[in-house]
Structure 1
Amino acid sequence: MTHSPYPSTALDAARRAIADQLREIRRDAGLTGREIAARTGWQPSKVSRLQGATTPPSDDDIRAWCRACDAEDKIPDILAANRTAESMYLEWKRVQRTGLRRLQESRIPLYERTRTFRVYSSSVIPGFLQTYEYAAALLGTIAHFHGTPDDVADAAEARVERSHIIREGGHRFAIVLEESVLRHVVGDAATMAGQLGYLLSAMALPSVSVGIVPTGRPRGMWTLETFTVFDEGRVHVELLTAAITVTTPGEITQYAHAFEEMAGLAVYGAEARSRISAAIDSLD
């Protein structure tokens, strides 16, 4: 099976649908790929990449392709589809260019209207459960890596303020963490001890369920990227270079199913608390 160049199946499907449209327009015009290349002044390899969905087309590429095929009436629809695909993939630097605080605050409306949050994390403690010190240390490393404006203190404060919803009525949080998250030290040992202690206290809240997937547990599901399912309406997937928003119903269902698989591997209650306490004890 060919490996997709895109990190989301929804984005992959959107890109391939555009490539298929371009290919059909070429065929309807009775042109070969080399003839498209000759009419547009491109290399034949570019034509192959565009209709093979290995390179996303620019708006100018779409216009040139359609004009070469005498199909200018197709331009508006394909441009609209292309922009929809682009909106699925947001580069972190573009999102964060005005600072991390704005990024935290921009999500407040979504968080406030969501009733049920399902969170799986294989990397860090989820933002809902972060202490200020942990958030500041984590956001500091993100800002340094991505070269974003240094408003880490404000961003950490905004993240903690945003987390008030875990103590409000009307929201439920089902959170599953890989045990390795408990052992990955963010900041220093004191910061991590405070964070894990807060995680223990948050588990007592009636709206919060925390499961820990033990290290070394046999599983039929591989470790996944960190993601959050908001009710049944959308999923946010966090990657190194991008934040992906998934809104396709079929794909949301797949993430919900993946969450249930991971939740089934986790331990809860006293056993989960024991593993968190062991991680605290292991800190120097």
Structure 2
Amino acid sequence: MPRGIALTGGMTLPPNNTSGSSNVHEARSILGKRLRELRLSSGQSGRQLAESLSWPPSKVSKLENGRQTPTDDDLRGWTAATDSLDETEALLASLHTLEVQHAEWQRILRTGLRPHQQELVSWDQKTRLFRAFEATVIPGLLQTPEYARARFAEGIRRFKLPNDINEAVAGRVQRQDTLYRPDKRFHFVLTEAALRFRLCAPDVMLGQLDRLISLSQLPNVRLGIVGFETQYATSPWHGFWLYDNDRVLIETLSAELDLRQPQEIELYGSAFEQLAAVASYGRSARAIINRVMEDLAPDSAEDGA
């Protein structure tokens, strides 16, 4: 997980989002329309098809209208019952593309937090340029173990996951070794809000902010902070990660969106450049972080007392 909680961030998407979640809904609707075509070609009503498959009648309607995602077995049963077995492989390919694009956290994390960390290692290895924007959390590759533990604990509570938090923290820390590889470049842009949100104890946050200052001085890491007083050129709707020009990863509360269409990558690449253009870097960025640390220090002292 590149960023936020036990997942990666937990962001909300904009109501007018033209990619990501809307594309997922469109893909599910297209699949449903194809299923309806096969049923109609077979001359069956929805009730007749449901009875032949021992399904409740409502399931056929939900699948055809894109309100429910079918399983592999659902599609195999559908093509068998509509005498369209030659369509099975194409339908399965469409389904699996949808599953890659929109993966629900409950399914991704059903075996625990650490396995998903390990899945991201392959992308870390092949990616040369990492670009990340976060509005509310510190990116995973920049997190201290204590901050990461707080994020993972949130995910465990939210999704009632197996508690492998120690292994997950160790996995995240191990993945951070990639920051020290000279063949990789990192460009992080954070809002000042991400530095101030109380998502962990004050002393943990102070340690996290101090680490940000240290990492900002690595030769292959560029850290930008968008201060509260900044005039935005584009709205900071939600966090996202760009892996080279191959993939965009976005978190919602319920799922991870994995976008690979060229137009989507171009859209998010443009948004990142606009957000990066208004960020402060170097001494100016560290000044913002130090200001936040000064504001937080009294609370840390009280917490320690």
Task: Determine if the TM-score, normalized by the shorter chain, exceeds 0.5.
Answer: yes
Mean CA deviation greater in 75-84 or 202-211: 75-84
Which residue, 40, 44, 67 being the options, matches 2:50?
40
Report the AA paired with residue 88 of structure 2: I
CA deviation after TM superposition for structure 1 residue 59, in Å: 4.0
Question: Aligned equivalents of 1:19 and 1:220: distance in 2?
Answer: 39
Alignment partner, residue 271 of structure 2? 258
The one of 103, 106, 117 equivalent to 1:104 is 117
Instruction: Please say if 1:124 is aligned against 2:137.
Output: yes
Of 176, 179, 193, the match for 2:192: 179
Deviation of 1:247 after TM superposition, in Å, equals 2.0
User: Partners of 2:70 and 2:105 in 1: how far apart?
Assistant: 21
Residue 133, structure 1, aligned to residue 142, structure 2: no
The 1:155/1:38 distance shift into structure 2, 3 A limit, reads closer
- 1:35 aligned partner, one-letter code: S
Which has the larger displacement, 178-187 or 34-43? Answer: 34-43
SS at match of 2:103: strand
Q: Is the 8 A contact 2:39 2:45 kept in 1?
A: no
What number of residue pairs does the alignment pair up? Answer: 279
Kept after mapping to 2: 8 A contact 1:10/1:248: no
Tell me, yes or no, if the aligned pair for 1:10 and 1:246 is still in contact at 8 Å. Answer: no
**Per-residue deviation, 1:134:** 1.4
Q: Which residue of 2 aligns with 1:267?
A: 280
Once residues 167 and 154 of structure 2 are traced to their aligned partners in structure 1, the CA distance between those partners, rounded to angstroms, is 15
Tell me the CA shift for residue 282 of structure 1: 1.0
Cα-to-partner distance string for 1:212-271 (whole Å, 9 max, x where unaligned): 122254435222222211111112212222222222222222221221122123222222
Equivalent in 232, 239, 263 of residue 219 of structure 1: 232
Q: Which residue pairs with 1:8 in the alignment?
A: 21
Residue in structure 1 matched with residue 84 of structure 2 by the alignment = 71
CA distance in 2, matches of 1:72, 1:110: 36
In the TM superposition, what is the alpha-carbon distance from 1:93 to its structure 2 partner?
A: 2.9
Q: Would the alpha carbon gap of residues 151 and 16 (structure 1) be closer, same or farther in structure 2, given more than 3 Å must change?
A: same
Per-residue CA deviation, residues 153-202 of structure 1 (Å, 9 max, x unaligned), is: 23212211210111121110011112110001332111111110110111
Percent identity of the aligned residues? 35
- Offset, 1:64: 5.3
Residue of structure 2 in register with 1:150 after alignment:
163
208, 222, 225: which one pairs with 1:209? 222
SS in 2 for 1:169: coil
Q: Which amino acid aligns with 1:86?
A: E
Q: CA deviation at 1:119?
A: 0.4
Return the letter of the residue paired with 1:115.
R
Q: Of 206, 219, 229, which residue of structure 2 is paired with 1:193? A: 206
Bigger mean CA offset, 194-203 vs 151-160: 151-160
TM, length-normalised to structure 2: 0.80
Cα distance change on mapping 1:198 and 1:48 into 2, 3 Å: same
CA distance in 2, matches of 1:229, 1:162: 17
SS in structure 1 of the partner of residue 188 of structure 2: strand
Separation in 2, partners of 1:206, 1:60: 51
**Structure 1 residue 102 displacement after superposition:** 2.8
**Aligned partner letter, 2:47:** A
Unaligned runs of 5+ in 2: 1-14, 300-305
- Per-residue deviation at 1:204? 1.0
Name 1:245's counterpart in structure 2: 258
**Cα deviation, residue 275, structure 1:** 1.2
Q: Higher relative contact order by CA 8 Å / sep ≥ 6: 1 or 2?
A: 2
Match of 2:177 among 153, 159, 164: 164
Is the contact between residue 40 and residue 65 of structure 1 (CA under 8 Å) also seen in structure 2? no
